[in-house]
Structure 1
Amino acid sequence: MPEWLHIIIRSILFLIILFLITRIIGKKQISELSFFEYVSGITIGSVAGEVIMGLENSMFHGIIGILSFGIATFAVDIFSLKSKKFRDIIDGQSTIFIKDGKILEDNLKKEKYTMDDLAALLRQKNVFNVADVEFALLEPKGDLSVLLKKENQPLTPKDLNLQVAQEKEPQTVIMDGQIFDAALSAAGKTRQWLNIELEKLGVLPENVFMAQVDSYGELTVDIYDDKINVASPQARPLLLAMIKKAQADLELFALETNSEKAKEMYRKNAEKLRDTMEKLTPYLSGQLN
């Protein structure tokens, strides 16, 4: 058999073996690696490359080597789940870089980080002024976790005592022109509803690249032709506008009528609508999506 054919066969075989080992070890191997996983991954790749090219030993020996490192990596992951001490040895421990707004230079030196390195990590977190940071921690996998000082943290609806709508996972009901009935059911919708909404937009299902139903039950559509603009959902803003108009009409009726009884009725109902508007505005204004 020609050498080039041997290389093709070995490449396909080891591609399958490496894929299976990676699936067994888990997604952690293709995300951020610990020190051990990094060394293990390099070694497995090196062994596979050597055997594929047939430079050393036999293909069988290469398979044994790859399986050994794969099993070792899997065992390390299992032990790490069971023992905190073992996990600290394998993954390492977090290191505090900034505490109480002060940079800990000794910890920077210990991890062989310069001030430029720290500044670069902070910029990745959209922090450009070190003085804004209350606490910063270097995670075992190289990420920097940052806590801003209280006065520099962004405001949240909770800080302003605002009532916000509960968010749920958007459901993708159409992808590549194909309708997903399971997603429609999860969103509490039917195909009939979907067809009506698409007709309102003047869009056919087969022309839709992606369509999602949000937690408010509104449909957002993206079509294949980027030159065509599809209208944004308007159900909530229209409903809010209708409530505002009804409330304003009631106040106007109260001013125009000569009957004190009718005035009182209009004013009470106008106040009820005003209270309702205040409660529903976070849900209907579209500002808290």
Structure 2
Amino acid sequence: MPEWIQIVWKSLAAIVLMFLLTRFLLGNRQISELNYFQYIVGITIGSLAGFSSIDFLNWGTGLIALTVWVVVAFFIEKLLLKSKKIRDWMEGKGTTLIKDGKILEDNMKRVKYNTDDLLSQLRKKNAFNVADVEFAVLETSGDLSVLLKKEYQPITPKHFGLNLPNEQESQTVIMDGNVLNEPLANIGLNREWLHTELEKLGVTIENVFLAQVDNYGELYVDLYNDQLQVPEPQQKAILLSTLKKCAADIELFCLSTENQDAKKMYETNLMKLNKMISRLTPLLK
């Protein structure tokens, strides 16, 4: 067999073997968050696979070496899951770099972190001023976790006493011009509804690159032709306007009636409706 053919099939076999070993034994952390040991394992396995592919090592010997490294890594991962002491020793602990708004220079020197590194990581967390930071920890993965001072934290609906419903995942109903029936069925809709909504927007399915339905039943459409403008969904705005019109009508009825019982009923229901409109306005705008 020609040498180049041997290199090709050994390389393909090494790729498949490495994928299976890392995917089913080492897991996703080998890709996303490498600790020191995982980093060494990844480099060594890649080197062994590369050497084996071009026959610098005997294929059988290379396979044994690969298996040994992966098996050892597998059992080390099991130990890391079960023992916090081993995990702390191998992965280390997070290091506090800013506490109570003050930079801890000694901790920065200990982890070999300079001022440029700190400022760069803070900017990635949208903290452009060190004075705005209450607490910052350098995690073992190398990421910087940042807690801003209360006065600089984003305002959330909870600050206004609003209880908002949980958001549901948007369903993709058209992809690459093809209608996806299963997502439509998951949200209780069908093709007829989809065609009706697309007609309102003045587009056809063939021109749609991507379409999604959000938690409120509104259809978002992205077209192949980016020059065409698609009207924004108006269901929320229409609903809010309808509720406000109902409130205005009830107030008019309340002012025009002379029956005290009816007036009291209108006032009670108007109060309930206005309270509902106040709670729904942040959701419908």
Displacement of 1:155 in angstroms is 1.3
Distance 1:283 1:188 in 2: 22
1:45-104 superposed Cα distances (whole Å, 9 cap, x missing partner):
11112122222x301111111222122222222221111112112221111111122222
Question: Which residue does 1:20 correspond to in 2?
Answer: 20
User: What RMSD, in angstroms, separates the aligned Cα atoms of the two structures?
Assistant: 2.1
Distance 1:283 1:120 in 2: 36
Contact 1:164 1:282 in 2 (8 A): no
Distance 1:147 1:266 in 2: 49
Q: Which moved more, 1:215-224 or 1:193-202?
A: 193-202
Distance 1:181 1:175 in 2: 11
Question: Which residue does 1:53 correspond to in 2?
Answer: 54
Displacement of 1:272 in angstroms is 4.2
Where do 5+ consecutive residues of structure 1 fail to align?
A: none
Question: Which residue does 1:100 correspond to in 2?
Answer: 100
Mapping 1:230-241, distance limit 5 Å? 230-241=230-241
Where do 5+ consecutive residues of structure 2 fail to align?
A: none
Aligned length: 282
Give TM-score scaled by structure 1 length: 0.89
SS at match of 1:146: strand
1:176-215 superposed Cα distances (whole Å, 9 cap, x missing partner):
2232232223223223322222222233333322111111
Question: Which residue does 1:260 correspond to in 2?
Answer: 258
1:195 maps to a residue whose letter is H
Displacement of 1:268 in angstroms is 5.3
SS at match of 2:141: coil
Displacement of 1:164 in angstroms is 2.7
Give TM-score scaled by structure 2 length: 0.90
Distance 1:204 1:76 in 2: 56
1:92-146 superposed Cα distances (whole Å, 9 cap, x missing partner):
1111111122222111111111122111111111111111111111111100101
Distance 2:124 2:149 in 1: 17
Mapping 1:273-284, distance limit 5 Å? 273-284=273-284
Mapping 1:1-289, distance limit 5 Å? 1-24=1-24, 25-55=26-56, 57-252=57-252, 257=256, 259-261=257-259, 264=263, 270-285=270-285
Distance 2:272 2:122 in 1: 49
